Structure 1
Amino acid sequence: MIIKHIIEGKRNSFTWFDVCDINESDKNVLIENHELNPRHIAYATDQHERARYDQQGNINILIYNLPVKKEDTVNSFVLEPITFLIKKNTVFTFRSKALEIDAQKIITKATCYDASIRTLIFTILYQISIYYQNAIDVLNQTRDYYLSNLHKISNQNLIQLSNVERSLVYLASGIKTNLLVLEKITENQNSRKLSQTEKKLLHNIVIEVHQAEQTVEIALEVTERISTTSNNLLNNNLNDVMRFLTVWSLVLTIPTIITGFYGMNVALPFAKGSIAWVNITIATIIMIIILVIFFKIRKLF
């Protein structure tokens, strides 16, 4: 789907085409009506394309990563790119439906900033950069929930913690690549004249991304420590269960051994008499009690 926005600035006007979940019909329109190169469209629609800023002929390409919540997994995030193609007075954005942006809000802000293609792009980048902090907050809340339930940790909880940790690793990777892109944009724009508004917007984006970088590093370190602690607790619980089963298997071995001996057709002590089974039962119970007391003293119970 292609949504067209015509943005009127104080100095000039330009067109923004917001391409969401592109299909073959959209590709043909972009190639035939807007003379975009199929190779550039392939870059823009590649979900695995790394974040970067590049200039190819008369087209500038900007690919920026942002977090998207996975629908099939609880509180798990992956990275998806949003791609900008800038050609003269036209800017194209390519994104999936999962990457939600408030177009009207962006246009309003960009217009307030004396709308230009750069202010529009910087406004979008600032809005989606905030998504990182929101995603980190969600993951921190999930992690804290499992932290409060460490006393009843389970394999399922460990899986959820591993999802949180994996998501944080994805976010940290996306933030680092985005910072490299922002640094390259800053270097390339030094030779150009940016307005004070554009400089301020770019500066705010960098600050927001640096803040997200510090936050995700702290969150990842805390999550890794909690995950390690959870594994230790689960292993300790397993050891307790195995020790309990081992102790009781030893205790229950006594009556098995005694009844096995007296079940043989041979002469054994206390095997004769009408109350022989009572004597054998009492002797078995006494031996079990002695063994249990021994395990209690050794703190194996």
Structure 2
Amino acid sequence: MRNLITLFFFAIIAYSHGFSKINPGPITFPKAEILSDHTTRIPFKLIDNLIIIEAELLDQKGNFIIDTGSETLILNKAHFKANKSFSSKSKETSGVIDIIDNPLEKRLREFIIKDITIEDKYSDVIDLSHIETSKKIHLLGIIGYDILKDYEVFIDMYLNQITLSRVNSEGKKLDSRPYLEKIIDTVHFKLRKHTIVIEASIDDQVLKFGLDTAAEYNQLNKRTSKKVLKYFFPSNRLMLIGASGRQIEVMAGKLYRVKLSDKIYFAPMTTLLTNLNQMNEAFGTSLDGILGYEFFRQQRTIINYKKEKLYFVEFPLNKQ
């Protein structure tokens, strides 16, 4: 029997407005550490290759996935039952594998990370019960771009923590204190709707990748150049589960020679060979692949959405 994995790349596209005005109450993160008036640090755990933080909402305590590939805050319909506070107006969710029609919508008056309050945010309400079953966690939802974009987001796989530092409209940190860690390089990216698009090269072939913290495995478009595919070394086939639970078979292997800059390059990364045509059509762009967990585990990364920049932080010298 082939291995079964679950891959999450939530590309959420809204086709209408008109959200519910009902206030479901604040979301709190009990393990957050306040560093200043504008900066907070949240520890996370890795479940498989997903970044999971604990949170409380409507007297429920559970887990949220940190997902830069998701446009909105997503609540799990399994725990937030449809009622008059939800709307099911025309909206569509597009993912790598399939399209989920008519997710419900909910408006959050406040989203609180300890002492940092995020006001007037929207959420989609989607059935995520198959993720709970697969990952064996109590999943309340997914935190995406709409929450993260107002912060400089430091994703640190070395210390298993995320640091959020609020920025102004130009992307400048409101917290004037510098990072203690040394920044070794900076790379520009393009924001396509809510997707971070970066350029990388494989043996001098320039490719466009989407950056997604919830992609458990990298993905490479199987229709990419043969010059690139010769650096993909297949090893086995896997069954892939999409956002709606649909399954497809994909080829898994290692991708070699990925380079982001003169200083930032990667060891061979576990990668899936997939068809990204549907996602590219949804975003009106042309991605050659997705970089996820395999990217972040090799680079301590800071994301600044306003400046459209990635900063890479030096590992401690005693890293094993």
Return the TM-score normalized by structure 2. Answer: 0.23
Larger radius of gyration: 1
> Quick check: which one's strand share is greater?
2
Q: Which has the higher contact order (CA 8 A, sep 6+)?
A: 2
Structure having the larger proportion of residues in helix? 1
